[in-house]
Structure 1
Amino acid sequence: MKRMVVLAAALACAIAGCARPAPAPGVYAGEQHKRIVSLAPSLTEELFAIGAGGQVAGTSAYSNYPAQARALPVIDAASWINLEKILALRPDFVVGLPSDASRTRGLERAKVPAFLMKDDRYDDIYATLDELGVLTGRIDAAGQVVQRLRSRVATLRKQSAAFRVHPRIFVVLDVSPIYTVGRGSYIDSLLTMAGARNVVQSGLPYPNYSAERLLSDQPDALIVAGEVKLKPLLARPPWSDLSAVRRGRVYQVPPDLGLEVPGPRVAMGLAWLVRVVERLQS
């Protein structure tokens, strides 16, 4: 019954014009033996989280978590996919993001279904886990992951709701030029859940930001993406002119935390943000 409900929901979504298409005929037969190629790090993580990692035959260049994903054949780069390499892996289907629509068109001619799933927002994590559970025959496992994540996130949100101070945060995604997170983005949602405020007002999810605007904003703290090398630049403008830098309120995201990747590490990332906001209460 549960399986039929999920299938019905997927079909209803397709009829309503959602980004998630209806399943191809027969794709649910023998699901746990299907070979999968993943075009997105978030989807790779989610497949492993629900126990379908053994079905993943190939993945994207940036899929580096969990460790087992690093040993898989890489079938794409930033803007292209190696169609011949994908077909050589003999996948039963491919999973990707809506942004992969143009580069997966060649799969249609080869009769390899491509399922494109959103990962832009916090709620997309749970919807995508459910869908992957259906596609891989692991509905119960996916449901358990969803329930565990929701429970942990609810606990963390209850903790952050007690904070009296809601610091203004600037997230550094890149430094040359400066890129950050805007309103409505995945990380922006996590900041809100952690009890912080995003200093950036832009409606773009990941806007380019001027040094002048950053200096005008004077955030209470900086959160720096794990791979960004900001520390050597802190003694130079505009960073040296920020009160947050002078007060030592610069927090680098720990390796393997996955704060920027919407997926099963969401609770880990939120827990870290809650600890940061807790430190900023005084």
Structure 2
Amino acid sequence: MFRRSKLLVAALAAAAVTLAGCADNGGNEPADTGAQSAGFPVTVGAVTVDQRPERIVSLAPVATEMLFEIGAGPQVVAVDDMSNFPADAPRTDLSGYQPNVEAIAAKSPDLVVTTGDPNDLIAQLTKLKIPVYLAPAAVTLDDTYRQLAELGQLTGRVDEAGDTVTRMQDEITKLTRDLPKRTAPLTYYYELDTTYYSVTSTTFAGTVFAMAGLESIADASDADGAAGGYPQLSQETIIKADPDFIFLADTKCCGQSAATVAQRPGWSTMSAVRDGRVVELDDDIASRWGPRTVDLLRVVIDAVTKVPA
């Protein structure tokens, strides 16, 4: 989903899109071709599908994860080049950042799912009478739940989508209900890349961390919202704030780890480094607002519960 530094932040603030995978199946039909026409046509917002789509193209990793999670995987014929989960998704060289309308249309899709609208993608596909569902970057988990439900409607997977939302809600309730009570929230620095871009509590990641009773040290650096919730911090600011936790969302992209953080000038003096509270996240899970958000919260809460109240 991310390209780092300034482009990363722009993608996050607008509509973020982020090795194994099956080859493009070209004109082959999806494995599950059973017609489920009941309930169609379906209209969600400005999108109408006349019958259950059987040739879905996903142009964003989070959309791919959602589609497969709700059981619509057999209906997906192509996903973008950044969709690396699940491993059996039909990954192609299609780009969600710089979409090629002709290449997308060549897949003969009856539904395209995207998280952004670069180069008037939606208008171009609409001219070709290809339905497009836009799932912009979520701000809260309610946005995630809504997108799952709407994809369930559009793909004929209403029950499966409902089950996914219920499972997520139940797991989050279980994870958060026994959190230790604290007089003040623990603080954290969330690292997007090695140029010290971070997230505030107003972002999707920030709302997830807040569920674990955490507060971002980046909040003060974007009090006016000018950075869209993704300010760039200085090393001096981070060291002075001395957060209780450091969460690294750049382990894959930038090779960062607790060991590399400890080697940074001045960072070894920070309590999070000294006390072993540098948490290495999976970049992909940390940057997507789909079903695996529960996995992110689980890692965060596991770290938090190790700190005495």
Task: Find the counterpart in structure 1 of residue 135 from structure 2.
Answer: 117
| Distance (whole Å) between structure 2 residues aligned to residue 278 and residue 164 of structure 1 | 15
Question: What is the TM-score when the length of structure 1 is the normalising length?
Answer: 0.83
What code does the residue aligned with 2:265 have?
Answer: P
For 1:1-282, list aligned pairs within 5 A: 10=44, 21-24=45-48, 27-29=49-51, 31=52, 33-69=53-89, 71-76=90-95, 79-100=97-118, 102-121=120-139, 122-160=141-179, 162=181, 166-175=185-194, 177-201=195-219, 202=222, 203=225, 204-225=228-249, 226-227=251-252, 228-231=254-257, 232-254=260-282, 258-281=285-308
1:144/1:60 CA distance change after superposition, 3 Å: same
Offset, 1:52: 0.4
| Distance (whole Å) between structure 1 residues aligned to residue 117 and residue 193 of structure 2 | 21
- Contact preservation (8 Å) 2:187, 2:215: yes
| Distance (whole Å) between structure 2 residues aligned to residue 213 and residue 60 of structure 1 | 38
- Contact preservation (8 Å) 1:28, 1:134: no
1:103/1:241 CA distance change after superposition, 3 Å: farther
Offset, 1:274: 0.6
- Contact preservation (8 Å) 2:248, 2:280: yes
Task: Find the counterpart in structure 2 of residue 18 from structure 1.
Answer: none
Offset, 1:163: 5.5
Unaligned runs of 5+ in 1: 11-20
1:95/1:58 CA distance change after superposition, 3 Å: same
What code does the residue aligned with 1:235 have?
Answer: Q
| Distance (whole Å) between structure 2 residues aligned to residue 264 and residue 67 of structure 1 | 16
1:100/1:156 CA distance change after superposition, 3 Å: farther
Task: Find the counterpart in structure 2 of residue 16 from structure 1.
Answer: none
Offset, 1:238: 4.8
| Distance (whole Å) between structure 2 residues aligned to residue 157 and residue 139 of structure 1 | 27
| Distance (whole Å) between structure 2 residues aligned to residue 51 and residue 90 of structure 1 | 21
Q: Percent identity?
A: 33
1:51/1:199 CA distance change after superposition, 3 Å: same
Query: Mean alpha-carbon deviation: is it higher for 51-60 or for 221-230?
Result: 221-230
- Contact preservation (8 Å) 1:167, 1:280: no
**Aligned-pair RMSD on alpha carbons?**
2.3
1:183/1:101 CA distance change after superposition, 3 Å: farther
- Contact preservation (8 Å) 2:83, 2:91: no
- Contact preservation (8 Å) 1:172, 1:224: yes
Question: What is the TM-score when the length of structure 2 is the normalising length?
Answer: 0.76
1:238/1:105 CA distance change after superposition, 3 Å: farther
| Distance (whole Å) between structure 1 residues aligned to residue 76 and residue 265 of structure 2 | 46
What code does the residue aligned with 2:137 have?
Answer: D
- Contact preservation (8 Å) 2:81, 2:91: no
Once the two structures are superposed, what CA deviation does each residue of 1:45-74 show, in whole Å capped at 9, x if it has no partner?
0000011011112222221111112x4223
Once the two structures are superposed, what CA deviation does each residue of 1:74-100 show, in whole Å capped at 9, x if it has no partner?
3105x3112222111100121112454
Matched pairs, number: 259
Question: Normalized per residue, which structure has more helix?
Answer: 1
What code does the residue aligned with 2:56 have?
Answer: I
- Contact preservation (8 Å) 2:60, 2:79: yes
1:107/1:255 CA distance change after superposition, 3 Å: closer
